[in-house]
Chain A
Amino acid sequence: MALFNFLRPKNKLEEGGRSSAPVQQDAGEPEENCPNCHKDIPLSRLWANNLVCSCGYHFRMKARQRIQTITDKGSFHEMYPRMKSGNPLNFPGYKEKIGTVRVASGEEEAVVCGTASIGRQRCCLFVMEPGFMMGSMGSAVGEKITLLFEYAVEHRLPVVGFTVSGGARMQEGLLSLMQMAKTSAAVKRHSDAGLLYTAVLTDPTTGGVTASFAMEADIILAEPGATIGFAGARVIKQTTKKALPEGFQTAETVMEHGFADSIVPRSGQKRFLAELIKMHNWRAII
């Protein structure tokens, strides 16, 4: 069942490649096995705990659910909900694939955008969808994110973004690649306007999204254990023919090397984000 697409084992980049399909779980199963502590957790408890195991393992989360947990009740107003990519290159199999994904995920595209309040702090919000081709960035994703940043500049709002992506969507070829430049230019304008952009990197954030708006935030947060990197671990292993070091491309290592500001568990994210926005609204209040 599509609803349970996010309940998949920890990142499988190494074995299956970036676009490996989500593992389908048996919807009738009332328990979920944690890939970290290997304990079976009752689904009801997992849901109640925002899909975090008692051992601290963060399961992947659908965009809509994340929006629900992170924003103030009833505050989210979706923007560009029907915007979606066509098949600009007539890439073989793309139309069929994206059609199936749309039905299975219930989303038109791999990112959900809108305005919201987080702890009574107004902001623009984008949340990427792991169940939609692993959050791959095509023309529509790039367009939606660009529009959101442009809206945020116009209305002088901070932007909060949750990233999850295997990278640029290869079925849209060069046009996907160009979204990296397009979104980056929009982030730059937002930044030059003196506005705050906070990114929360979730599992996995890789490829063209890492190399564009994920790494361009003023403040970069990460979820515990998230895979964060540019090249896929499998490709690096193939290229270098060496074993990868322990903890390679995990949020913790990324922070250790200076590329993330803080690791924030899901349970603390709302308060953390609200506090950050509030601190940056200081001048506005006076």
Chain B
Amino acid sequence: MTDTAYGRVKLARDSQRPTGLDYIRKIFKGFIELHGDRRYSDDPAIVGGIARLNDQPVTVIAIEKGHTAKERTHRNFGAPQPEGYRKALRLMKQAEKFGRPVICFVDTSGAYCGVGAEERGQGQAIAENLMEMSTLCVPVITILIGEGGSGGALALAVADRVWMLQNAVYSVISPEGCASILWKDPEKAETAAASLKLTAEDAKSLGVIERILSENDIGKKEFYDRIRMMLTEELEELTRDVDLTQNRYDRFRKLGQSAVIKE
């Protein structure tokens, strides 16, 4: 199933995959969850708080899909409301204030499509995150662990390093949405998935991500240990970076430039 792009999409959506909270619990110690956006409500689709990476306090933020039917409903299937993004931003600003690195886990089919979400400024919430994350003065690492659905995923992924699990996907639109808009035929999702170049390998070759994380031992202790080690090493390097925000600017600045014909 993994040999086609659409197979990857299905794998990325598999409810048996570890979710955001699994990563938080297995990689970090002493997670203290912090709730609410201080504006309107608390969005269960985004979980955030403080935890220890080895000994270092870090801010962790994860989009949580849930495993069981009950959990998934409670988490709105990992489709965040604007409040989720505003909570995430609040926690990031807090991280900046206290000099803590930020680590995000992304797994969403996209920001929630609903009347309330629109009325409370879904687009504005995402836009503000993109803007503010671009100049956050602490290191930010984002790992895409399942679905990386468009702006709803990017709103937690304006990071210094973006990594993807081997079977995670990252896309501007769902293959079904793309097929239905372009070819008026959702059945062509398979073609769309292949055309959208949404696999981890594609994202890496486009320069959108830095690293692909192997899933050979996914869910096992070694798997989480390895990610913990990588995060520790990477943070060490990023903490030493005196041009952190400039480098983050440049990281995104160059994306798409090769696709532009200047003549």
**CB-contact partner of B195 in A91, A142, A214, under 8 A:** A91
Among A93, A138, A214, the residue within 8 A (CB) of B259 is: A138
How many A-B pairs have beta carbons closer than 8 Å: the answer is 208
Partner of A214, one of B123, B154, B261: B123
Q: Which of B114, B121, B195, B197 contacts A236 (CB 8 A)?
A: B114
Q: Is A215 interfacial (CB-CB < 8 Å)?
A: yes
Within 8 A of A (CB), among B140-192: 150-151, 154-155, 157-158, 170-173, 177-178, 180-182, 191
Contact partners of A230 in chain B: CB under 8 A: 111, 117-118, 122-123, 126, 151
- Chain B residues closer than 8 Å to A180, beta-carbon distance: 130, 151, 154
Closest CB in chain B relative to A170 CB, distance in Å? 5
**Does B15 have its Cβ within 8 Å of any Cβ on chain A?**
no
Binding site for A on B (CB under 8 A): 111, 113-115, 117-124, 126-128, 130-132, 134-135, 150-151, 154-155, 157-158, 170-173, 177-178, 180-182, 191, 195-198, 202-203, 206, 208, 248-249, 252-253, 255-263
A12 smallest CB distance to B (angstroms): 13
CB atoms of B151 and A187 under 8 A apart? no
Further contacts, 14 of them, CB under 8 A, given A215-B124, A240-B114, A242-B115: A84-B260, A84-B263, A85-B259, A91-B195, A139-B257, A177-B150, A180-B130, A185-B131, A185-B134, A188-B131, A212-B126, A230-B122, A236-B118, A240-B115
Residues in B neighbouring A168, C-beta threshold 8 A: 150-151, 172-173
Give the complex CA separation of A175 and B154 in angstroms.
12
Residue from B115, B121, B127, B195 in contact with A89 in the complex, judged by beta carbons closer than 8 Å: B195
- Cβ proximity bits A227-250 to B, threshold 8 Å, 1 near / 0 not: 001110001100110101100110
Q: State whether A174 and B198 are in contact (beta carbons under 8 Å apart), knowing that A182-B255, A215-B121 are contacts in the complex.
A: yes
Closest beta carbon of chain B to A194's beta carbon, Å: 14
Assess A212 versus B127: contact at CB under 8 Å? Given A86-B260, A178-B255, A245-B115. yes
A181 touches B115 (CB 8 A): no
- What are 9 A-B residue pairs whose CB atoms fall within 8 Å in the complex? A85-B259, A85-B260, A88-B259, A93-B182, A170-B196, A175-B259, A182-B256, A215-B128, A230-B117
The chain B residue with its CB closest to the CB of A191 is B131
Query: Which of A143, A174, A192, A236 is most buried by chain B, counting CB atoms within 10 A of its CB?
Result: A174
Smallest CB gap from B172: residue in A: A177
Determine the residue in chain A with the shortest Cβ distance to B192: A170
A276 CB–B CB distance under 8 Å: no
A229 pairs with B263, CB closer than 8 A: no
Given known A-B contacts A174-B197, A175-B259, A146 and B253 have beta carbons under 8 A apart = yes
CA distance A253 to B118 in the complex (A): 10
Kindly identify which residue among A88, A172, A187, A242 contacts B131, using a CB–CB cutoff of 8 Å: A187
Number of residues on chain A facing chain B (CB within 8 A) = 66
Complex-state Cα separation, A85 to B118, whole angstroms: 30
Given the interface pairs A84-B261, A229-B118, the reply to whether A184 lies near B127 with Cβ below 8 Å is yes
Q: What is the distance, in angstroms, from A253's C-beta to the closest C-beta of chain B?
A: 8
Inter-subunit contact B130/A83 (CB<8 Å): no
Question: By the criterion CB–CB under 8 Å, are B170 and A174 in contact?
Answer: yes
Given A216-B127, A236-B113, residue A184 in contact with residue B134 (CB < 8 A)? yes
Contact of A5 with B by CB under 8 A: no
Q: Which A171-218 residues have C-beta < 8 A from chain B?
A: 172-182, 184-185, 187-189, 191-192, 207-208, 210-216
Q: Give B149's nearest chain A residue, CB to CB.
A: A177
